[in-house]
Structures are given as structure tokens and as C-alpha cells.
Structure 1
Amino acid sequence: MDSKVVRKSSKNKYLIISFIIMLFLGYFIFISATKKRTLTIKKSEITIKTIERNSFEDFMSFQAKAVPLNSMLINIIEGGAVQEIFVENGDRVTKGQSLVRLYNPNAELAYMQQETAIIEQINNLNKAKLDLRNQELSLAKDLISIGHDYQDAEDLYDLNKKLFEEQILAKSEWVKTKENFRFQQERMNIIKQSVKKEKQANQIQIVQLNQSIAVMNKSLEVLRNNQKNFLITAPLSGRLSSFEPILGKTYTQNTSIGTIDDRKGYKLSADVDEFYLDRIAIGQKGTVDFNDKTVDVQITRVIPEVKSGRFQVELDFVSANKLDLKQGLSFGVKLNLSEKTKTNLLAKGGFYGETSGKWIFVVNGNKAERREIKLGRENPLYYEIIGGLKTGEKVITSSYKDYKQVEVLDLQE
């Protein structure tokens, strides 16, 4: 049986065709893999800025409000219900002026009972002092009486001594006279020592009683002063703010019902983003615009406690000239963080939200290509360029929301 013979030339032909097809397929796959993702957009839809070589001013800006230099809370020392209101919010008051009267019958009754108890103790102490004085007086009377008896015994002794020496007085009578004089003498000495010790002891007790009475009187004074706490008065002169007590409403002890602002001067208070916490320090200077004039200010206090991503700073006006300010006025503060330096500047824009400053589209004719960059410091207007861009290059600074996966932009008029 005959077999079919395949020609060698035909076999080579098929191999060459297959190789060419595979080569074309590889080329198209390579082109598809390496081709940059491109998007066509209109120039009117984007913002193009030029890289500038200029002085970079490292500053920040924030809003601050004018607040009084000194303020004091109006606190309720003794709780009670509001009985009378003598002033209104916003009024100017003087130190000691009556603001509100509270009423608390239970507390007032307790005060009366305490006052009665203290007065009773003072009376008892005074009575004890009087008893000691009377005791001293009684001892003095006894001493006078004993002294009189001693003097009589001494006079009789002197008389009987003469009579006995002249042998007029009997010996038994003379012995009796001598014994009586000795007795009165010893009695007098003992009583004198007793009276002296008694007086010393009484003096110590009287000093202690006087000290106790002084303490009681001070307690009584404090108690009576506390009774006056139901009438709330202004602790200093100034303007009332946040003062809104309600008649009949009961306020507990240590509750604040308002503030008195001392209007002798003002400062600025601001809440600043926590990003700047390590860059702001006492003594840094800045400026604010007031009545079409630039006024210098200075950081005087930094409160590092962060709340809701912000911390508080206070600033004082450097100028000695008195400014016609009002509480609550808002100022835009420009705070200098460092000296000016010459560098390449990139205008701020929406691109940063998608790139975090790591890359940007650089414009070259009718195309814009993606390029990695490195940014440094920033202020509200510019970024400092550290690397990736040169002076005079043009970049797209508007939002990249629709271009995040694109590498080349074709720009059309």
C-alpha cells in the first residue's frame, strides 16, 4: 500500500507563519502592557499654575475672638430658689452690687439653730469666767478677814508680852496668847499660798476661756456672713455676660449663673488645629487687621490640651495704644512661624487631596504627565518644593478626583 509523503518545504512554511503570528501577538501584548493610561480633557476644566522662585513666608492664619483680659464667674455659694433679680444680662455693675437674692428656708432654719447653739456656748463660757472672778473675789474677802484676825492676834500678843514681862499677866494666859498668834500666823501663810495658786489656776482657765470665746465669736461671724450668701453680689466691677437666672428656679451649691468681664482691656483667644501644636510657642509674633490698620499681636499663652482636634492659644496686643474693641469681635490672625527664605513655590490647590503632595501632573505643550515630587513646608497659599519641579514649569493644581488612575492627560482647547 502506498503512503502519503509530506514535502519538507510545506512544513517549514507553516512554522514560519506560526512564528510571525506569535511575534505579532507578543508585540501587541507588549504595547498594551506598556502603554500609558491616557485621558483627554479640556483646559477650561482645570487650573494650571507656574512654579515660582520667590520668598517663602512660613506663616499660618486662624480666627481669634476678642475676650476681656480678666473675667470672674458668679458662683452660688448656698443653693436656693431665685427670689429676686436686680440686674439684667449685659448690664455694667460695680463691686458689691446686689445681683440676685435666693431663698432656702431649710438652710436659713439650720443657720438659726447653729447661731442659737453658738450663742448659748458663748454665754456658758462667759458664765464660767464670771464664776472664776467671783471665786477670786470670795478668796480676797476671806484673805481680808483672815488678815484682820491675824492683826488682832498680833496686837494681843504684843500687849500680853509686856504684861507677862511685868508679871501682871498669868503664865497660862500668856501661853494661850502665844498659841493663838502662832495659829493665826500659820493660817495666814497657808491662805496666802492657797490664794496665790488659785489665782494662777484661774488666770490659766480665763485665758483658755477667752480663746474659746474668740473661736466661738469667729464661728458666729462666719455663720452670719454665710447667711448673707443668699444675696449674691458682684465680686468685681465690670459687665455681666451669660447671666440668665430664672425666678423660682432652684440652683444648687457651686453652680455658676454668669460671668463678670473686667473691661480694662482685651486679649485674643483662638482654637488652632492640633497640627500646629509643636510649632506654636509663647512669644511668637503675628498681625491682625483692625480699622484698615495692621496691629501687632503676640502669643502669651498656649494651652496644650487637645479637644476635638484643636487646642487653645491666647494673644495680647503689642501696641500700647488703646484700641476701641468690643467683646466677641473676630480677627484673622497671621502668625509668623519662621523667617522668609528664597525657594521654589507651588500654589495650593485641590490636587493635594488625592496625591498627598507625592505626585503631580506637569504640563508640556498639549500633554500633562504624572511626575513624583517632594514638598516641604506650607503656608495658607503655597507649598515649598524640595524636589521634582523646577522654576517655570507648569502644573495642574485643580482636583485630581477623576484622574487618580491616569498617567497622561491630553489637553484640548
Structure 2
Amino acid sequence: MIQDTSSQDVILKKNKASSYWLKIILILAGLIILMIYSIPTLSNWSSADISIDRNRIRTAEVTNGDFIRDIALQGNIVAANSPKLYAPAMGTITLHINPGEKVEKGDLVATINSPELTNRLQQEQSKLKSLEIELQRKKIQAKQNRIKKHQQIQLEKVVLDAAKREKKRAEQSIKIQAISQLDYEKSIDDLRRSQLKYNFAQEQFELEKENLLFEIKTAEFEYNQYHLMVENTQRLVKELKIIAPVSGIVGSWSVEQKSAVALNQALLTIVDLSAFQVEIEIPENYADELGIGMLAQVTYNGHQYDATVATISPEVTDNIVKGRIAFTTKPPPGIKQNQRVSSKVILEQKSNILYLPRGSFIQHYGGRKVFVINDNIATLKNINLGSYSIDKVEVISGLKPGEKVIISNTDFVNKAETLILN
């Protein structure tokens, strides 16, 4: 049987001094390692001015991209084309279309019964007919006078030719002394008398022809003048049937059904649904920056619609300048006149620049400083800002892409330049 070696073991006494120093060395080594790793943290804590909760601040990252400078403007929908129809004459109105109903261009919307105007047209047409008959009578009379004068000239020509022949015979007879000197001279006088009558008949014919032409022109002028009056009255009678000048809806009645209306009295309004615009109110300090043709966007029912600045008023009223924005495409469906909408006008577009979301940090330091976050430490840093838009601000210098900054209000830190974020 083999026995164990317990009989050979020697019990040694424990060295209390060496164990004590070993513990001391291990504790010191641990403290040194802890201090080495905590030096940066302790340094930050020692340099920090104040400690704040992260929930009290709002942060954002510096972004590199496209920047659009714009301004937000409130406006009302107005009809750029809403003609108002007026009464062309006195009478009784009959309205055929009710307010709110759709109409197409050329549809009959109202009729005016005007007996006075209708009767005037009939009288003028009758007078015009009599003037036409008178003109035709003068033309016939001129033809008759021409025939008579022409006949007279021809008769005088016959007498003149006979007198010429008689004088010729008298000349031959006086040579052979077949007639007396008295008869010869009488033939000469007869020829001269016939010549004068013939010449006078020709002159009288020309004068009579000019006189008849003048009378005909006078009659034609009177007829044409009165014809214009009849055409104008016919136009007025035709306008008694009032038609829609544009396609749209009837906005409102300005008169009651079957009521008596006066000349040029307003009757109704038609709103052109294809020509809506947004009337905007521009703050005076932005008025100089806006120009006709600038790009804009109108927000309606959560959708944005492209538009352009159409007009800008030259007047300032209560620090506000009126303007209008016109849709570049078809207006939004269901849009109504005087409806309130929001819009924005694009003042400037830039590419490949740094920008931040707009925040209260701009007011605290006037846009010259901002807290930049590195781990849990926020350090105040000098910056230079550029253009402002509705929701963005351009960063010109002082920040790099990807850096995180505090964009919320930091008035509560007073003059602290370093913050600990918990």
C-alpha cells in the first residue's frame, strides 16, 4: 500500500509585509490608469461654464447643397378676368342663369325688353327705306334729263348742219348773183345763231349733268349716314340679348328678376374659372427685391403649384405693397374666389453652399456666433451668415459640412462660451 506525502509537507509561515505592499502597488496602478483616461473629461469639465440638459436645446447639422432664398406671403384668390355685364338700354330684365351656375362663352344669360329701342329701330328702318327710294328716284330722273338734253343737242346739231348747208348754197348763189346780198347775209346770221344754240345746248348738258351728279351724291350721303344710324340701333337691339363673354360661372346678380333697369346699369358678373390669380400683401422692406416674372409657389390643399409674379403695385399702403401671382399651369381644381392661400416668392437660388435651418440662435448673437457640438461639449464659435429664406440660412464661413450646432434659443446660458450637454 502506497502512502501519501503529507508527512513530507512543511508548513511555511505567511509573510504579512509583502502582501501589504502588493495591494498598495495594485491600487496605485489602478488610480494612475483611471487618471490617464479621465484627464480629457476632467479637462472639459474644468473648462465648461455651465451644464445643460439636451432636451432644452434643438440641434441641426451643417448641410452642403442648393439654397433657395424666398419669402412667405399670404394672399387671397381673385379672378383675373371677371367681366361685369351692363344694360345696353332701358327696359325690363329677364335673367336666365342663376348665381353659381356654369356658362359657356356665347350662352344667353339675360334678355332686356325695351319697346322704346325696338320702336326706334322700326322708325329708322322706315326712314332709311324712304331715303333709298328717293335716291333711286334721283338716279332715274338724272337718266331722263340726260336723254332730254342729249335729244336737244342732237336737234340743235341738225339745225346747225342745215344752216351750214344753207350758207354754202348762199355763197355759191351770190357768186352768180342768184340771190341778193341781203339773203346771203341772212344765211350767215342763221348759221351763227344755230352754232350758238348748239354750243349752249352742250354747255347746258354738262352743267345739268354735274348738278344731277351732285344731287345723287347728296342723296347717297344722306342715305349712308342714316344707314349707319340704323346699324347702330340694330346693334343695340341685338345687345338686348346679353351673352356670356367668357366661360365660367355667374358670380352674382346686381338686379332683381323682371325689374326695370336703366342704361349702363350693372346686371351681373361672370367669373372666368381659368384665370384665377393670388393677390398678395408684400411687406414694404421686401417690395424692392420683388420683380415681375419672379418664380413663385402657391400652396393649396397641401399641394404646391408653380406660378410667377404678375403685377406689383407702385403704391404703399400701411407699409404693405399689393401684388398678384399668376399660375403658370392650370389653377388648382375646386379653387374659389376670395379663398385664403399661402404662397412664397423665390428671390434667389444658389448651388453648392453651406446652410442651416433657421433658428433662434440668429437673434441671440445676431447671427455672428453659434455653439458647435463636439461629443458632449458645445463650444461657442464665430461664424458669418449670408442670405435668409423661410426655413434656411446661408453659412458663409466659420462652419464645415457635417458639424452639429445648437440652433435653438440659448439666452438662458447668459455669457457662457462652453456648455456640457447631459
Question: CA 1:371/1:182 → structure 2, altered by over 3 Å: closer, same or farther?
Answer: same
The 5-angstrom pairing of residues 337-376 of structure 1 reads 337-345=348-356, 347-349=357-359, 357=366, 375-376=385-386
Aligned to 2:253: 244
Contact 2:163 2:194 in 1 (8 A): no
Query: Residue type matched to 2:249 in 1?
Result: L
- The alignment partner of 2:106 has SS state of coil
Structure 2: which 5+ runs fail to align? 1-49
Question: CA 1:384/1:310 → structure 2, altered by over 3 Å: closer, same or farther?
Answer: farther
**CA distances 1:235-273 after superposition (whole Å, capped 9, x unpaired):** 24x22242424322746627473125275xx67645263
Query: Residue type matched to 1:316 in 2?
Result: T
| CA RMSD, 1 decimal | 5.4
1:206 CA displacement: 2.9
1:120 CA displacement: 5.0
1:112 aligns with 2:115: no
Query: Residue type matched to 2:310 in 1?
Result: R
Contact 1:370 1:407 in 2 (8 A): no
**CA distance in 2 between partners of 1:408 and 1:246 (Å):** 72
Residue 147 of structure 1 is aligned with which of 151, 154, 158? 154
TM-score (normalised: structure 2): 0.60
The 5-angstrom pairing of residues 243-392 of structure 1 reads 243-247=252-256, 248=259, 250=261, 253=264, 255=266, 257-261=268-272, 263=274, 269=278, 271=280, 273-274=282-283, 275-281=285-291, 297=306, 299=308, 301-305=310-314, 308-317=320-329, 325-328=333-336, 335=346, 337-345=348-356, 347-349=357-359, 357=366, 375-386=385-396, 391-392=403-404
- The alignment partner of 1:210 has SS state of helix
Contact 1:99 1:233 in 2 (8 A): yes
**CA distances 1:260-304 after superposition (whole Å, capped 9, x unpaired):** 5275xx676452634554545566556678999987x35373435
**CA distance in 2 between partners of 1:112 and 1:175 (Å):** 72
1:376 CA displacement: 2.5
The 5-angstrom pairing of residues 23-34 of structure 1 reads none
Question: CA 1:393/1:289 → structure 2, altered by over 3 Å: closer, same or farther?
Answer: closer
**CA distance in 2 between partners of 1:356 and 1:256 (Å):** 61
- The alignment partner of 1:88 has SS state of coil
Aligned to 2:40: none
1:388 CA displacement: 7.8
Contact 1:66 1:326 in 2 (8 A): no
Question: CA 1:65/1:325 → structure 2, altered by over 3 Å: closer, same or farther?
Answer: farther
Question: CA 1:395/1:90 → structure 2, altered by over 3 Å: closer, same or farther?
Answer: closer
The 5-angstrom pairing of residues 219-234 of structure 1 reads 219-234=229-244
Query: Residue type matched to 1:223 in 2?
Result: T
Structure 1: which 5+ runs fail to align? 1-38
Aligned to 1:25: none
Identity %: 14
TM-score (normalised: structure 1): 0.61
Aligned to 1:102: 112
Query: Residue type matched to 1:394 in 2?
Result: I
Contact 1:360 1:396 in 2 (8 A): no
1:194 CA displacement: 1.9
1:216 CA displacement: 2.8
- The alignment partner of 1:337 has SS state of strand
Which sits farther off after the overlay, 224-233 or 155-164?
155-164
Contact 2:88 2:240 in 1 (8 A): yes
Query: Residue type matched to 2:88 in 1?
Result: E
Question: CA 1:99/1:294 → structure 2, altered by over 3 Å: closer, same or farther?
Answer: closer
Query: Residue type matched to 1:397 in 2?
Result: N
